[in-house]
Amino acid sequence: MEDTVTQNKIEKWLSENTYHHSEFWDLKKMVERKEEQNLTISLCLPTLNEENTIGKEVVLFKSELMSRYPLLDEIAVVDSGSDDRTREVAASFGADVYLANEILPELETKKGKGENLWKAIYQLKGDIIVYVDADIKNIHPRFAYGLIAPLIYRPEVQYVKAFYDRPLAVSNEVRPSGGGRVTEILIRPLFSLFFPELTAIIQPLSGEYAVRRNVLEEIPFPIGYGVETSHLIDVYSKYGLDAFAQTDLDQRVHRNQTTRALGRMAFGLLQTFINRAKSLGIVKEMAEYNTILRQFQVQKEDYQQVEYEIEEHERPPMIEIEEYRKKFQVET
């Protein structure tokens, strides 16, 4: 019975809340609707050593979505401390560039993509923040407007997630659709076990999403691998599946990660998941877990351990930070 309810719920959500970016080609109309609602929108590009791709992202978004169609009110690069020329390149093409460590400097220093995303909530001014990874080779304005559009057209939508599903040839045959290796091997099975409705999100780990500030400021941020997973669980727990939408942005060309790197990612994600499962009371009385991941390498006949200390630190909801409440005049 419950299965049918979930199935129907997912089916309804897929038909009503899943978009293709081409539905939002009319940028002029989108800008008009944005202005009617008096919304401000910020684009955040979190970076760590992305000098090869950041310039292209900045120049394209700036030209198309600020100058030609004023959809974005600011484009900000929040950098983890790149030792290449990421910040210089981004600034030369006209982005506002921030070092994550210099935002809210009185807080303890932490380093990770989630940290950059979290600090962007304080630093940027938008009512909507759209996050786009900085390593996308085939960047296009759709990576931002495809995610912003459902928030502009549907006030009840709070969080829009990207997915990428461009088949090389379309026929009437059924074809599989889904995420990458970590999604299909780890996240979707976990969601199926504990949050079956969230399986409707085709690529839960995609790094591109647009979110309303009032939602962002109320959720905690793991600073490492787990930020996307925790967002989904937290927003779902608070607002339900209908707060989400997802947009197909066609193909995304980016660096491929090795299986070992994905192993480390999965390790971090599992920690986040267990933490959420514990706090929501889904899993009870679980022993403390280890934070060292062991992978192995061999030299001649000597098998060697390679240890990675991976601990998913978490930032509290931004609304709990006093400086934030002052800056945005949030009443306590």
Partner 1 sequence: MKTSTAVDYTFEEILDWLPELEANLEEVGEIIIANLIMLGEIPAPTFHEERRVNFLTDRFSEIGLLNSSTDEVGNGVGILEGENDDDNILIVAHADTPFSENVDHTLSVEQKYIRGPGVADNSLGLAAVASLPSIFEFLDITLKKNLILMGATRSLGRGNLEGLRFFLDNNELPISAGLSVEGAQLGRLSHVSIGMLRGEITCTIPEEYDWSRFGDASAILTINEVINKINDIPLPKRPRTSIVLGSIEGGTTYNTIATNASLRFEIRSESSDMVEEIGHRMEEFVAEISSKTGDEINLDIFARREPGGIKFSHPLARKTRFIMEELNVQPRLSPSTSELAAFIDKNIPAITLGITRGDNIRELDENILIEPIYKGLTQLIGTILAIDGGYCDTEQD
- Residue 209 forms beta bridges with which residues? 131, 161
Q: Is 73 in the site for partner 1 (CB under 8 A)?
A: no
Measured over the CA atoms of residue 240, residue 145, residue 114 and residue 104, the dihedral's sign is: negative
Q: Considering the rule CB under 8 A, would residue 60 count as an interface residue with partner 1? A: yes
Name the token pair of 108: 């303890």
Candidates 10, 40, 49, 51; binder of partner 1 (CB under 8 A) is 51
Helix axes 27-36, 142-153, angle to 10 degrees: 50
Q: Does 56 bind partner 1 (CB under 8 A)?
A: yes
Taking CB under 8 A as the criterion, the residue among 46, 55, 146, 204 binding partner 1 is: 55
Nearer to partner 1 (CB atom), residue 168 or residue 286: 168
Q: Which is nearer to partner 1, 28 or 181 (CB)?
A: 28
Q: Is 162 helix (H, G, I), strand (E, B) or coil?
A: strand
Question: Binding partner 1 by CB under 8 A: which of 6, 29, 94, 308?
Answer: 94
51: its two tokens:
């000098």
Query: 91 vs 274, which CB is nearer to partner 1?
Result: 91
For residue 252, how many other CB atoms are within 10 A of its CB? 21
DSSP 100: G
Minimum Å distance from CB 55 to partner 1? 4
Q: Does 325 bind partner 1 (CB under 8 A)?
A: no
**DSSP of 35-104:** HHTT--EEEEEEESS-TTTHHHHHHHHHIIIIIISTT-SEEEEEES--SSSHHHHHHHTT-EEEEGGGSS
Of these, 7, 8, 37, 92, which contacts partner 1 (CB under 8 A)?
Answer: 92
Report the residue from 67, 214, 237, 291 that binds partner 1 according to the rule CB under 8 A. 67
Q: Which residues bind partner 1 (CB under 8 A)?
A: 51-53, 55-56, 59-60, 62-64, 67-68, 85, 88-89, 92-94, 137-140, 253
